[in-house]
Chain A
Amino acid sequence: MLDKYDRKILTLIQKLPAHRQPYQIVAEQVGLSEEEVLAKINGYIHDGLIRRMGITINHFLTGFDANAMVAWKVKTQDVDRVGEMLSALPSITHCYERGVDGDWEYNIFAMFHARTRQELEQTVEEIAGEMGVSDYKILYTLKEWKKDGRKYL
């Protein structure tokens, strides 16, 4: 169970300052010593609460201007095979199985990134053929209204 220190630390360390001792600044805000904060963070990493410690860069840097969420309608018995085939593609960053709702029947979601839409659609068509899944929708990112990977605990 997370206590109030854990919640504060986990919230704050998602956006560290570019400072000589960023964890010291977090420690001051939380009211613990820097050593205690570092020890706790190592514990969170060990326990799988933190997936990654790192710098998150902006997509525009990568030259991948065509970005789409591709949703696939996949039979239950094929979900694992399709999810694994999609995940093996380097042009995919995220892949999830999701529940369906109302008139929406597409249950596998994968984020594709390519230099152009043409290149993206070619990749999608190829993998669709290999997986034997013909019912899918390409949902291009038209506008980013919000992107803030931070989560508040």
Chain B
Amino acid sequence: METIDKIILNALQEDFPVDSRPFGVLSQKIQVSEDEIIQRISSMVANKIIRRIGASLNPKAVGLSTTLIGMNVPEERIEAVADIINTYHEVTHNYQRNEDYNLWFTIAAKSAEEMNRIIEEIRKKTGIERIINLPSVKTFKIRVRFDV
């Protein structure tokens, strides 16, 4: 990766300007033109180096209910079950792991009722019986910055 790309990423990971011209603000700081910054960021989005640009919300503060669900899924059904789960836009992450409970996903829903409805629907549609529901009680740490 080119040094300029690294500089752009490190500068914008935690501090994307809330300004009419956010890339223009960065342009003045790092002496790279606004158009070049935008073009480089577009390439990094296309190459999946950048997942997304924008706000990370505090789910509780915006009124969302969140939980972590663990499921025990027979190996040969993992893909089909993951596909059913992923149809819900309330499901934000879904990972396969090396445990008895081998599929783990997070839900962020508009209310506790909505969350329970989604869990019950997933239970019915997948036919999976061993499901654990582990709502967060306390957040100790969230760090998303990685120096590149």
Q: Which residues of A contact B (CB under 8 A)?
A: 2, 10, 13-24, 34, 38, 41-42, 44-45, 47-59, 61-62, 64, 69, 79, 83-84, 86-87, 92-104, 107, 109-110, 137, 139-153
Contacts and interface: CB of A to CB of B under 8 A. Distances in A.
A149 B16 contact: no
Nearest to B19: A38
A102 B133 CA distance: 9
B74 to A, nearest CB: 15
Which of the listed residues A20, A41, A55, A99 has the most CB atoms from chain B within 10 Å of its own CB?
A: A55
Nearest to A147: B93
Interface of B: 1, 9, 12-24, 34, 38, 41-42, 45, 48-59, 61-64, 68, 70, 82, 85-86, 89-99, 101, 103-105, 108, 110, 130, 132-146, 148
B50 A55 contact: yes
A151 B64 contact: yes
Contact of A56 (B15, B42, B52, B148): B52
B13 A150 contact: no
Contacts of B89: 152
A38 B51 contact: no
A2 B62 contact: yes
Contacts of B137: 96-99, 107
Given A23-B20, A55-B13, A56-B52, A151 B141 contact: no
Listed from nearest, the 5 A-B pairs whose CB atoms lie closest are A87-B141, A146-B94, A83-B140, A95-B140, A145-B82
Contacts, number: 237
Nearest to A59: B146
B96 A143 contact: yes
B134 A100 contact: yes
24 contacts: A10-B55, A16-B53, A20-B38, A21-B21, A24-B20, A34-B20, A49-B62, A51-B58, A55-B16, A59-B146, A61-B49, A61-B148, A64-B146, A79-B138, A95-B139, A101-B133, A109-B134, A140-B98, A142-B96, A146-B94, A148-B92, A149-B51, A151-B59, A151-B62
A98 B69 CA distance: 11
A148 B51 CA distance: 8
